[in-house]
Amino acid sequence: MTTFALDADQQSFRDVVRQIAVDRIAPRAAEIDEKAEFPWDVKEVLASNGLLGLHVPEAYGGAGADTLTFALLVEEVARVCASSSVIPLVQKLGSVPLLVGASEEQKQAWFPRIASGEDLISYCISEAGAGSDPASMLTTARRDGDAYVLNGTKVWISMAGVSRLYTVLAKTDPDAGARGVSAFLVRADDPGFSVGKSEDKLGIKGSPTCQVHFDDCRIPADRLVGEEGKGFTYAMQAFDHTRLIVGAQAVGIAQGAIDFATGYMREREQFGKPIGSFQGLQFMLADMAMETEAARQLVYAAAAKADRGDADLTLFSAYAKCKAGDVAMKVTTDAVQILGGYGYVKDYPVERYMRDAKITQIYEGTQQIQRVVIARQLLGKL
């Protein structure tokens, strides 16, 4: 049974995005990495082409594209600049819990500006002591009349400081574990909200990652997303749809490294002939391409399952993220090896691809967590 197929519209979309990425994003990639500054110009390119609301239903001002189309977007942008690919990735990550849990009135109020790209949105779940175990979070939200008061600190928040909106998970019942977690929409100008330490990272340096603080942060009660106690459920449902997109990002990074290494192997000469003529390097390149294509097929299959609402989406989303992240790390490391000394210096992009690839093995659930998810899906309750 065919699990996915790119139709004519998706193929055309991929070609258009690829051209935008090559013409408007690729020339900025090295500078974005070197300066470690958020690329507002790239954000505007994405917004002006309707790509930051690609995943948002048409009823709320978006394009209503399917998950496979969105995966193509992230893959093609990551192929030239991983930092830039974080922009649409996090735009979806921050908004999927709202799509899952928010009321119709909330969606109508919040999504038009998200879809247009006027409002960037981040997702706040991780804490210093609650990374792989988010149910143990300490951030609280206390009801106070017609408001909620939030207290706590979130860490590793992608796009913090440039986002205007934050989907925040906090405990409304600290004694109830995961069932006591609720979701809220917080705005950057809410009193008591602040952005803290900015992390100096190995890769995706053009995407800010910061702590965010809630110090008696008071928000209107109508910013509770859906129902109290349902936040953890919304979060886990959202991860099923966004983990596979990290897989798409990883595939794009790997493909970018393959593209550069292939061109280099054709042009670089040693012992009087192109290094691409040496069988040892040919085998490396062949393995890089095979593994990347295998990961791509798994990502696309997971995306198709997300669009169909298949019961095994959790399993396949974990498959896709885990396989693609591991492939990206191996492929980019091999690309550096193919370039030898030149691969180790910043005059060539493969060392950036290698640094960027590492995060795909860590965020949205480490590879070890993905394997736990996979094993539990296969074994069930023991």
Bridge-partner residues for 218, per DSSP? Answer: 149
CATH number at residue 136: 2.40.110.10
Does residue 364 have an active-site annotation?
yes
Residue with tokens 């996979």: 374
- Distance (Å, rounded) from C-alpha 69 to C-alpha 218? 38
Within a domain: residue 3?
no
Of 201, 229, 257, at which residue does a domain stop? 229
- Distance (Å, rounded) from C-alpha 17 to C-alpha 51? 9
95/151 same-domain check: no
Q: Tokens representing 32?
A: 């974005």
- Distance (Å, rounded) from C-alpha 294 to C-alpha 303? 14
Buried b (16+ CB within 10 A) or exposed e, 167-177: bbbbbbeeeee
Of 116, 135, 165, at which residue does a domain stop? 116
283/361 same-domain check: yes
- Distance (Å, rounded) from C-alpha 76 to C-alpha 20? 9
Mutual angle of helices 67-78 and 279-308, in 10-degree steps: 150
Of 82, 100, 116, at which residue does a domain stop? 116
- CB 344, CB 269: distance < 8 Å: no
Mean pLDDT of 289-318: 96
pTM of the model: 0.96
CATH number at residue 80: 1.10.540.10
188/288 same-domain check: no
Within a domain: residue 1?
no
Rounded to the nearest integer, the mean pLDDT of the chain is: 96
16-20 contacts: CB < 8 A, separation 24 or more? 17/51, 17/72, 17/73, 17/76, 17/77, 18/76, 18/79, 20/45, 20/49
Within a domain: residue 64?
yes
At 225-279, the pLDDT tens digits run 999 999 999 999 999 999 999 999 999 999 999 999 999 999 999 999 999 999 9
259/372 same-domain check: yes
Within a domain: residue 187?
yes
- Could you give the 3-state DSSP secondary structure of residue 165? strand
284/374 same-domain check: yes
- CB 21, CB 51: distance < 8 Å: no
Nearest residue to 235 via CA among 247, 244, 246, 243: 243
Looking at residue 277, its amino acid is S
How would residue 87 be classed by pLDDT, with cut points 50, 70 and 90?
very high
CATH number at residue 257: 1.20.140.10
157/195 same-domain check: yes
How would residue 4 be classed by pLDDT, with cut points 50, 70 and 90?
low
At 114-161, the pLDDT tens digits run 999 999 999 999 999 988 888 899 999 999 999 999 999 999 999 999
Give the per-residue pLDDT at 240: 94
328/259 same-domain check: yes
Give me the number of domains the chain comprises. Answer: 3
262/366 same-domain check: yes
Bridge-based pairing of strands 209-220 and 273-274 is unpaired
Give the range of the structural domain holding residue 326, as residue numbers without chain letter.
232-379
Q: Catalytic residue among 75, 127, 291, 364, which?
A: 364
Give the per-residue pLDDT at 2: 44
224/236 same-domain check: no
CA 223 to each of CA 81, 214, 226, 330: distance values in angstroms, whole numbers, following the listed order = 34, 15, 9, 43
CA 345 to each of CA 66, 275, 339, 341, 342: distance values in angstroms, whole numbers, following the listed order = 39, 19, 10, 7, 6
Total Cβ atoms within 10 A of residue 350: 26
Within a domain: residue 334?
yes
Element (H, E) at 347: none
263/372 same-domain check: yes
Distant-in-sequence, close-in-space partners of 374: CB < 8 Å, separation ≥ 6: 315, 318, 319, 322
